[in-house]
Structure 1
């Protein structure tokens, strides 16, 4: 995919130009997080940290609690108990400041259908006070190879095209923490590979911290530095892809996934 410069010009105004805060705190810290929807425990005592520049995979079956966790980190859902910090800021009391440093993309997020691709992205660029918003939008369109779609109504896009527009949106404010919910789910293999390469390059260039959900185990092995397996609202295993393969004596993460989800009761204490 196209080249994308992800940086800040000195002396420019706007959210995208603020310097990254100097902090000894991990970019993402979650402590004893619980979320209940009536009698359903969506998350149960989840704790983890994500380091600067790390791509952390969040894996688990549908209903495991992955999306609920992302929604909490975005401030869309309030936890029943526990805490979360982004860049050392407490989500419960500093949500507005946190949201200038975070962004999100999902293969399933809808955008206003009656606006063109360029109009949608320009709106977000102004909302995030990006430097040179029109230039930033064009840069992202070219990086994700959808500049030819700029003036098409968003409602007329295919699912794969809309996924790439959402990915453009997620980088419009040069976030420090990026939450990606199945970012390549609707992409053909060639485009998905290009998107993965672009995301890993942006991560390397900026030290971006990424939380990454996917049902594509091969993709997770390729992209993620570390993995959390979540099942029934709890973390059942964590480690690098290689370490997990060794621990479970498996050749691929899919076998680990199946072992954990088909008999999760074996791992209630987080061990095998």
Structure 2
């Protein structure tokens, strides 16, 4: 499987602020690659460097096996992108918008092809309607059609579901899955909606303060070994003290609640340990999701190596 994106030791400084710090990651052909992080984590800065909108302070980017800085024009012809809200001509129709952007890309297209693009994003029935009458979800879908008009191999979407209602989010999700499964596109998607990334991504990276916390296959990272166990007792303070002096200390999560990130199969041993120590249990609950995993990495500075692949 060929590499579509190779980022090596990438850094970006804005004055004294280090927005991206020695970042390295890869995106394989056919991936739906989740690009995750809190506000200020460096996601948008990295995406803008991938699109040559800003220049790195240090490091190297390769797209399709070629150095981006040396082959900018040829590489970007194979890339389509939507950065936050798409920039569209709101007083023109969806069809005219798509036609104009196709011409700006230097592409000769037929009406049939443009209508096929609109059909792909579910807007063929609104082809003649002006963009100002569209919902935000429809504008996002038209923006993706614009990004796809030159048939790129790589699609980069920065927060494509921002401001959308549940139906709009579902529409974008289904469209991304179609791009990957039916059209063979490689998709890099930045999003705050972790539950959505969990539904569609094959691989992902989590950034925190400009640094990579973890990267890998979603199925591997979200395995039962990384289950969040939440325990309620009659005396959590005593229970925490007991755990802190034991082999379980490495799994205890920071915060007021009594939580451990651990392999689910070890829960019976944990319960036996607490009960034998005189702790009176009220409840033991387990949950496993990308949101829990994300928070476990970004709310503490330790234990990073335990999750890295």
Tell me by how many angstroms 1:160 deviates: 1.7
- Gap runs ≥5 in structure 1: 1-23
| SS of aligned partner of 1:46 | strand
Q: Of residues 17, 38, 60 in structure 1, which corresponds to 2:37? A: 60
The answer to whether the aligner puts 1:33 opposite 2:7 as a matched pair is no
Match of 1:255 in 2: 292
Q: 1:68 to 1:168 in 2, by over 3 A?
A: same
> Higher mean Cα deviation, 179-188 or 168-177?
179-188
Report the number of matched residues.
248
CA–CA separation in structure 1 for the residues paired with 2:6 and 2:110: 31
| SS of aligned partner of 2:59 | strand
Structure 1 segment 81-92 matched on structure 2, within 5 A: 81-92=58-69
Q: Is the 8 A contact 2:11 2:23 kept in 1?
A: yes
Q: Of residues 177, 181, 186 in structure 1, which corresponds to 2:158? A: 181
- Gap runs ≥5 in structure 2: 229-287
Q: Is the 8 A contact 2:137 2:169 kept in 1?
A: no
Q: Is the 8 A contact 1:163 1:183 kept in 2?
A: yes
Tell me by how many angstroms 1:171 deviates: 1.1
Match of 1:71 in 2: 48
Tell me by how many angstroms 1:224 deviates: 0.4
Q: 1:158 to 1:107 in 2, by over 3 A?
A: farther
Structure 1 segment 6-155 matched on structure 2, within 5 A: 26-155=3-132
CA–CA separation in structure 1 for the residues paired with 2:303 and 2:208: 10
CA–CA separation in structure 2 for the residues paired with 1:196 and 1:133: 28
CA–CA separation in structure 2 for the residues paired with 1:131 and 1:46: 38
Deviations along 1:22-70, one digit per CA (max 9) or x if unpaired, are: xx85111111100111111111111111111111100010111111111
> Higher mean Cα deviation, 79-88 or 202-211?
202-211
CA–CA separation in structure 2 for the residues paired with 1:153 and 1:206: 28
Q: Of residues 203, 227, 246 in structure 2, which corresponds to 1:226? A: 203
TM-score w.r.t. length of structure 1:
0.83
The answer to whether the aligner puts 1:235 opposite 2:212 as a matched pair is yes
Where relative contact order (Cα < 8 A, 6+ residues apart) is larger, the structure is 1
Larger Rg: 2
